[in-house]
Every structure is written in structure tokens, then in C-alpha cells.
Amino acid sequence: MDPLVSTQWLADEIGASDLRIVDASAFLPEQKRNPALEYEACHIPGAVFMDLANLVDTTAPVPNTLPSAEKFASRMQSLGLGDGSRIVLYDDSPVKSATRAWFMLTMFGAQNVALLDGGIAKWKAEGRPCAQGRETLRHRHFTVWSDESHVRSKADVLRNLKDRREQVIDARGAGRFTGEQKETNPALASGHIPASRNVPYASLFRPDGTWKSADEIRALFDAAGVDLSRPLISSCGSGMTANVLIFALHLIGKDDVSLYDGSWSEWGADPATPKETGPQPAVQPA
């Protein structure tokens, strides 16, 4: 299964015994939308709902932190996602939350995970069927396993400021990156991690919500001054849209990319962390 599948591919595959479809919609508080209610009102037939808002480490000091392997496996089993499942994720979210679900599933050992290109919006625009209510599947075994080699902590990012082994990329919009747009949380400073490069996650999509081509994705990172020959750390506001950049890079064959899970929610709240404001330095011609 390719990492990105079309609505036609999914329509042809629905009903396969090993296929699991997952609605992984999640919204920011200011968007004032309820993903569970929207799922119950209309979802792709057979899809289960992955509650990302509660699939977190509730003991962590910052919001939206990755859960333990045990908690994740238990939740996947209850959804009917198990070892050997082919999993197709979609969302109807402005923050493209299915990429967060993709990152977690691959980190916690799922082997065959894809995103639906265009999400449920494209599915509905094509007049394809929706189901109502909640789907329940029988429990399946999901092995407890975790590979945290692609997760970075605040200490890792601080260390990286000195050795510069990895280049930091920031998925937030340009206004938040430069500091011209203030954070909605008044406890957070404005600006960005020093020496990071800005690739706004929304720039990776066409107007209809489908992903841009591999060549277009590569060109966006190049234009932002991202050195694709180096390992990267992806950051954002709260660890959500950073996964959009990670998935986009996966589409072009680059997988030495890590997630700064605390992102600006952690970095911006700490008075001791260094911060920069203003635009990133211009990219020098080769």
C-alpha cells in the first residue's frame, strides 16, 4: 500500500478483511468543532474514530504529548486495529491531524499505514456514501512496541543549537514564525527556535486539499532554505502540524526526520530557551 491513497482506491478496497479505515480528525480549541460529533454525523463507511485529544500522556507538563506504548496499543486494540492491518487514515481538519495519527502508528509499530489524499472532504465532494453513528470492530491484538529514535525533547533541541547536527523546520504560519502574529496563549512568547527554517504546513496542499506533487514539495523545502541532505527536526505549535512536514518529507523519500513533540507549547513557555523573531535569513543562491 502506498503512503498516500486515492478516494477511488479506497472505494475499490472497502470491505477487504484486513483493511481498517480511521477517522483521525482533531481540532484546535479556537476552531470550536467537535470531531466525535462530526464523525457520528458523517464518516466513510466502516471507519472507526480515533480520539487524538485523549491519545496523549496526561502526566506530561505540556499538552498533546505522545502517549506510552502500552496506552497506545490498548487504544488501537479497542478500535479493532491490530498487527497485520492495512490502515487508511483520513481527517476533515484544517490542521491535517491524520498526519499525527500516521506518525504515532508508525512509531508504535504499525507496518502498513496510509493517508487518504484529500480526506473525507474529497470523498464527499465526489458524492461517495457517508455512514452515521459509531462503528465498532472486534478487538485485535496490537503488539506493545515503540521506536522513539525519531522523537526529540527540549534538551535535544537545546543541545542541537550548539552542535547543529540537525536542521530545525517549523510548520507554523509565517506570522507566528516571525513573531508578528501573537500566540493565542498569552503564556507563550512569540518567535521561533534560533536558526530554524519556516515551511508553513498549509503550503503543502492544493486548493482542493490534496497533497502537492513530490517535485512541488521538494521545491517548497528548497525555497525555504532547508538542506534535504541533513537530518531534520520538525516543530510547530503543539506537536500536531509538525507531522504534516514529516509526512510530506516521507512522500519524497526522506525519513531522517524527527518530531519535537513539545514544540512551541514547551519552547515558548520557557523563559530560559533562546528565541528569535523576524523573518528567516534569505536563501543564498547555489
Active site residues: 236
DSSP of the chain:
--SEE-HHHHHHHTT-TTEEEEE-----GGG---HHHHHHHSB-TT-EE--GGGSS-TTSSSSS----HHHHHHHHHHHT--TT-EEEEE---TT-THHHHHHHHHHTT-S-EEEETTHHHHHHHTT---B-S--------------GGGEE-HHHHHHHHHH--SEEEE-S-HHHHHTSSPPSSTTSPPSB-TT-EE--GGGGB-TTSPBPPHHHHHHHHHHTT--TTS-EEEE-SSSSTHHHHHHHHHHTT---EEEESSHHHHHTT-TTS--B-SPPPPPPP-
